[in-house]
Amino acid sequence: MTEDRARNRRTAALLISGGVLFLLFFASFLFGRMPVPFADVIRILAHRGWTAIGLDRVLPTPVTWTDAMEKAVIEVRLPRIVMAMLVGCSLSAAGAAFQGVFQNPMASPDILGASNGAAFGAALAILLGCSAKYITVFAFLGSILTVALVFLVAQRAPGQRTVNLILAGIMIGSLFSAGTSYLKLVADPTNQLPAITYWLLGSLSGTRLSAILPASIPMAAGLVPLLLLRWRLNLLTLGDSEARALGVNTDLLRAALILSATLVTAAAISVSGVIGWVGLVIPHLSRKLVGSDNRGLLPCSMLTGAAFLLLVDNVSRNLLATEIPIGILTAVIGAPFFIYLLLRKEKTL
């Protein structure tokens, strides 16, 4: 494939992914227990937007909705929609980055044990009777602590550093997984154990507007470096010797990419619980759309991941009378879809 064709393909895929995400964003406001007409959704969002920037008197919006409708749109659906997009975007970008760094198509955001550490931190916070805010903080710190230990072990171990990271991730992750199992064993089976189990299944239930900013800051702090370094990520595919010959400090680049991907993973898992498959399946799907060039793969993974998790979250909260944990649905959808991607013949480019 020529460079022009590849560029056109990337552009088309990004436009389509962005368009689908845009449509899903507004369509998601229509799903819920309380019906809200689409026209009222737009008016409510416009009214809140104009009020926030002080233009409500210049651009008045006729009130055609009830207080209950406004509460459903602004306080219930909007924060959940935004959080689903942020988490999906973060996990997909982290998965694409890890697959590029480790040159392993099976790499996912939890390859270094971040999910295991977050699960242990959240379970410990629930066992201590902490509020939802501190459960998120404990999960985030547990995830960061796990990856820090993985780096420490991998740095001191002899041999190839990339392999050491993966092996240390498996080892440390198993230790924290065992710790989580012990906390579940000693937890109160009436209240604490169900809360731990539900958190481990992953859910965006109860997301509030006040949680968006604290979660988006570490996500942005990790996503921005990933986007800026995505073209350098291509150089790692050449091998360390060739990359160094081109003036790239491969150790520093690999460390920056891993730390950035870990940061967005920790931030995403801490607010949503353990949601699997997104960071594994979506980069593969994006690779089918734009190819392996990370200049297009990372942005496409971010857009597609945000759209995918938003769609799955809509299904999880509306399919049955009781909400289905989102981690269950991502596995049910992700596993067969991944098998389809594996079995499907590659088209000649």
pLDDT tens column, 125-137: 999 999 988 999 9
Indicate whether 348 pLDDT > 50: no
Tell me, yes or no, whether 55 lies in a domain. Answer: no
Indicate whether 223 pLDDT > 80: yes
Average pLDDT score, the chain: 89
Considering the entire predicted model, what is its pTM?
Answer: 0.92
- Tokens found for residue 280: 């594994």
Q: Helix, strand or coil for residue 187? A: coil
Tell me, yes or no, whether 42 lies in a domain. Answer: no
Tell me, yes or no, whether 50 lies in a domain. Answer: no
Tell me, yes or no, whether 59 lies in a domain. Answer: no
Q: Please report the pLDDT score of residue 205 as a whole number.
A: 87
DSSP at 323: P
What are the φ/ψ torsions at residue 341 (nearest 5 degrees)?
A: -65, -35
Tell me, yes or no, whether 37 lies in a domain. Answer: no
Confidence of residue 349 (pLDDT cuts 50, 70, 90): very low
Question: Domain of 266?
Answer: 3-31+66-343
Tell me, yes or no, whether 302 lies in a domain. Answer: yes
Number of domains in the chain: 1
pLDDT, tens only, 32-80: 888 899 999 999 998 888 887 777 676 777 888 889 999 999 999 999 9
- Tokens found for residue 175: 């230790």
User: Under a CB-based contact definition with an 8 Å cutoff, are residues 124 and 142 in contact?
Assistant: yes
Confidence of residue 347 (pLDDT cuts 50, 70, 90): very low
Q: Please report the pLDDT score of residue 345 as a whole number.
A: 52
Mean pLDDT of 156-171: 87
Tell me, yes or no, whether 167 lies in a domain. Answer: yes
Q: Using CB atoms within 10 A of its CB, is residue 141 exposed (0-12), middle (13-18) or buried (19+)? A: middle
- In the chain the first and final C-alpha atoms are separated, in Å, by 6
Residue labelled with tokens 């790239």: 248
Q: Please report the pLDDT score of residue 61 as a whole number.
A: 77
pLDDT, tens only, 204-216: 988 999 999 999 9
pLDDT, tens only, 136-148: 999 999 999 999 9
CATH code: domain of residue 247: 1.10.3470.10
What percent of the chain is predicted at pLDDT more than 90?
60
Q: Is pLDDT larger for residue 340 or for residue 317? A: 317
- Of the candidates 183, 257, 195, the one whose C-alpha atom is nearest the C-alpha of residue 226 is 257
Q: Please report the pLDDT score of residue 247 as a whole number.
A: 77
Tell me, yes or no, whether 158 lies in a domain. Answer: yes
String of DSSP letters for 7-27:
HHHHHHHHHHHHHHHHHHHHH
Q: How far apart are alpha carbons 53 and 47 in whole angstroms?
A: 10
- Tokens found for residue 63: 């009130």
Q: Is pLDDT larger for residue 222 or for residue 238? A: 222
